[in-house]
Copies of this chain bind each other. A is one copy, B any other.
Amino acid sequence: MVYSLKTRILENKKILPDFYEMVLSASAIAAEAVPGQFLMIKTSPTQVPFLRRPISISRINAEEGTITLVYQVVGSGTKLLSAMTPGSEIEVVGPLGNGFTWSEKDKVVAIVGGGCGIAPLVALTEELLKAGKEVYALLGAQNRDKLLSDRYFIELGAKVMIATDNGSYGRQGFVTQLLEEVINTTRLDQVYCCGPLPMTKAVVKLTKEALVPCQVSLEERMGCGVGACLGCVCKVRSEEGSLTYKKVCHDGPVFTSSEVIFDD
């Protein structure tokens, strides 16, 4: 089921410069959501911005009926979002899209997250650990002030490795270097990736070479967010091998790395 609801904001607090965490009371959505899915959020009571904003579900608490979002203020919509006060209402549609998947066979997996792409990997890690997997959480950011949610991964019990561009926290370098190391030392059954496009491309390349199955979460500008407008497509190889477009909002945002085609 997909819902279009007014939900109550329980919390909306700054967690890092530019990053906010918002908790919504949305039991219907929390009951059905899976990691990797997202919501389409109305950021203003007026007709500007006109389009809703896609924000991934970062944590799902089905028991308490809450959904946590983590977002970065980058433009007018997220700015309006950051000004909303707990107790007020916000219109959301969701849960949308196909989330991450895992199979019973998998034993050791890695999640690779960069920037605000780390957000949806929290819920994923929680589920993977519940399912008894060993999880490497490889997190990257420009600097310490932009590194999201690392303590959640530690609390959950993942093996956390961190890289920052300037070395202000964790290793100096890219998160892909961490992945390379893990691949070289450990037999990974699956990699999950969410982050900026250059990172995603590098992760796809590495896992392909290492023959490790990989799932990537993609972003594209969205109109409807539900699959109706064909606005958010990405190029994929169809089963017969020809190129075609799939909808990030509906067929994704999570794709297997083998099907997506990146333009250079």
Contact = CB atoms under 8 A, between A and B. Distances in A.
A79 to B, nearest CB: 8
Interface footprint category on A: 10 to 19
A129 interface: no
Interface string A28-69: 000000000000000011111100000000000000000000
Contacts of A48: 46-48
Contacts of A83: 45
Nearest to A85: B85
A80 interface: yes
A76 interface: yes
Residue of A45, A46, A49, A76 with most chain B CB atoms under a 10 A cut-off: A46
Interface string A147-169: 00000000000000000000000
A127 to B, nearest CB: 38
Contact of A80 (B46, B47, B76): B46
A121 to B, nearest CB: 32
Contacts of A47: 48
A39 B190 CA distance: 63
A83 B87 CA distance: 13
A45 B48 CA distance: 9
A12 to B, nearest CB: 14
A80 B44 CA distance: 11
Contacts of A80: 45-46
A225 B189 CA distance: 67
11 contacts: A44-B46, A45-B80, A45-B83, A46-B46, A46-B48, A46-B49, A46-B76, A46-B80, A47-B48, A48-B48, A85-B85
Interface of A: 44-49, 76, 80, 83, 85
Given A45-B83, A46-B46, A85-B85, 8 more contacts: A44-B46, A45-B80, A46-B48, A46-B49, A46-B76, A46-B80, A47-B48, A48-B48
